[in-house]
């Protein structure tokens, strides 16, 4: 197959491309704008493979997309390009509306017109896979709540996004489903819980905590840190994505999760305890933890029911949280220069955002 991956220089996209090049015989075209979150050095392991190519394109530019489809002639699209950081979406939602909504619309429309003119056999094999998030469902009752009964997000949970990021992803999901229902575009949808692992941008909780601990900087925790997330190791996620691409039912949504519900503060404690063993200092890394003002509209609990993808496609995560965190911490220790450089790019991007809003 020839697979067009959008957002392939990002955290999950680069893990997906490394997987496709190292474990399959497919050709991959990486379509990425290279925002502050995109980093081609995440693809160093595969960038010299003749089956991998990169083109720098903004998915908001429909002409460039049209040309790319015409030249590459993809058999499948795996759409990951997005603005993905909730805090940035609260500060300035413009880019989220442009990339996540307008960009997804452009991609759908270009893909539909391309798909419509394909010969019948190629047309029947074509797939458009949209990679989305569990944040579109809003939040679930927390164990501290009176109405808590262990509720989980299923594929039929109504959408109730809280943040501008989640709302923009929800809008993109609706567009994707509409393009299937209205035009018959063969789509597949996945909604996944929080990922972690190698090449994770250090603005997100896990890599930020590990890097700040190693740098002896404070470790910020929003509010009391009681928010619950369901963590999934990124390599387990990309295996699920490829399985859905190969075997998923057209028009279906698959929820993907790690069965790892943990409160943020507890997660940070696990990271500090592990670091205390691996890289001991005179005092525990926990002394670096500082509680900061909570995020506006912060969702309190996410948890995924991943039974559909397990029953229908046989997928389950390979890594326990403990195994995944061990690997991730070791990766950050071995790739500290990459993480520091990424953190510096993030600081510059945040400064630009503050000065323009």
CB of 229 to ligand NAD, least distance (A): 9
Alpha helices (H) along the chain: 11-23, 62-72, 86-91, 94-96, 104-116, 120-125, 164-183, 205-214, 234-247, 264-278, 307-313, 321-334, 336-356
Which of positions 93-122 make contact with ligand NAD (CB under 6 A)? 99, 103
Which of positions 67-96 make contact with ligand NAD (CB under 6 A)? 80-84
Q: In terms of Cα–Cα distance, which of 267, 310, 311 is closest to 289?
A: 267
3-state SS class at 28: strand
Among the listed ranges 111-119, 193-201, 246-254, 284-292, the one in contact with ligand NAD (CB under 6 A) is 193-201
Which residue, 221 or 240, is less far from ligand NAD as judged by CB? 240
**Looking at 27, 58, 134, 299, which residue is catalytic?**
134
**Looking at 165, 199, 233, 242, which residue is catalytic?**
165
- Single residue of 58, 173, 235, 236 touching ligand NAD by CB under 6 A: 58
- Give catalytic status of residue 27 as yes or no: no
Count of other CB atoms within 10 angstroms of residue 236: 22
- Give catalytic status of residue 45 as yes or no: no
Which residue, 109 or 276, is less far from ligand NAD as judged by CB? 109
198 binds ligand NAD (CB under 6 A): no
Residues in Cβ contact with 201 at an 8 Å cutoff, skipping those fewer than 6 apart: 10, 11, 37, 39, 85, 207, 342, 346
Which residue, 84 or 227, is less far from ligand NAD as judged by CB? 84
DSSP 142-160: -TTSTT-S---B-TTSPP-
Q: In terms of Cα–Cα distance, which of 316, 317, 196, 161 is closest to 268?
A: 196
Residue in the shown chain whose Cβ atom is closest to ligand NAD: 10
CB of 85 to ligand NAD, least distance (A): 7
13 binds ligand NAD (CB under 6 A): yes
Chain residues binding ligand NAD by CB under 6 A are 6-7, 9-13, 32-35, 37-38, 58-60, 80-84, 99, 103, 131-133, 169, 192, 194-195, 201
């Amino acid at each position: 197959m020839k697979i067009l991956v959008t957002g392939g220089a990002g955290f999950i996209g680069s893990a997906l491309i490394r997987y496709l090049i190292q474990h399959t015989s497919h050709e991959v075209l990486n379509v990425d704008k290279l925002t502050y979150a995109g980093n081609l050095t995440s693809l160093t392991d595969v960038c010299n493979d003749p089956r991998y190519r990169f083109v720098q394109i903004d998915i908001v530019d429909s002409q460039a997309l049209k040309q790319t489809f015409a030249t590459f002639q993809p058999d499948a699209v795996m759409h990951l390009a997005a603005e993905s950081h909730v805090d940035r979406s609260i500060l300035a939602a413009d880019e989220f509306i442009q990339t996540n909504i307008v960009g997804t619309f452009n991609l759908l429309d270009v893909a539909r017109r391309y798909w419509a003119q394909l010969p019948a056999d190629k047309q029947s094999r074509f797939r458009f896979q949209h990679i989305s998030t569990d944040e579109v469902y809003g939040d679930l009752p927390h164990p501290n709540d009176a109405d808590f009964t262990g509720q989980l997000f299923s594929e039929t949970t109504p959408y109730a996004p809280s943040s501008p990021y989640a709302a923009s992803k929800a809008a993109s999901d609706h567009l994707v489903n509409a393009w299937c229902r209205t035009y018959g575009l063969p789509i597949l949808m996945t909604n996944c819980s929080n990922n972690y692992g190698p090449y994770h941008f250090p603005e997100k909780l896990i890599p930020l905590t590990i890097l700040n601990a190693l740098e002896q900087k404070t470790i910020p925790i929003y509010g009391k840190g009681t928010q619950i997330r369901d963590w999934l190791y990124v390599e387990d996620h990309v295996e699920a994505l490829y399985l859905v691409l190969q075997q998923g039912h057209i028009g279906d949504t698959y929820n993907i999760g790690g069965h790892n519900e943990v409160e943020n503060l507890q997660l940070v404690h696990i990271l500090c305890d592990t670091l205390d063993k691996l890289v001991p200092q005179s005092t525990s890394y926990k002394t670096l933890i500082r509680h900061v003002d909570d995020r506006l509209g912060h969702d309190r609990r996410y948890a995924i029911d991943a039974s559909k993808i397990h029953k229908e496609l046989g997928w389950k995560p390979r890594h326990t949280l403990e195994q995944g965190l061990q690997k991730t911490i070791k990766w950050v220790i071995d790739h500290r220069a990459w993480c520091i450089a990424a953190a510096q790019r993030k600081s510059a991007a945040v400064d630009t955002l503050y000065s323009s809003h």
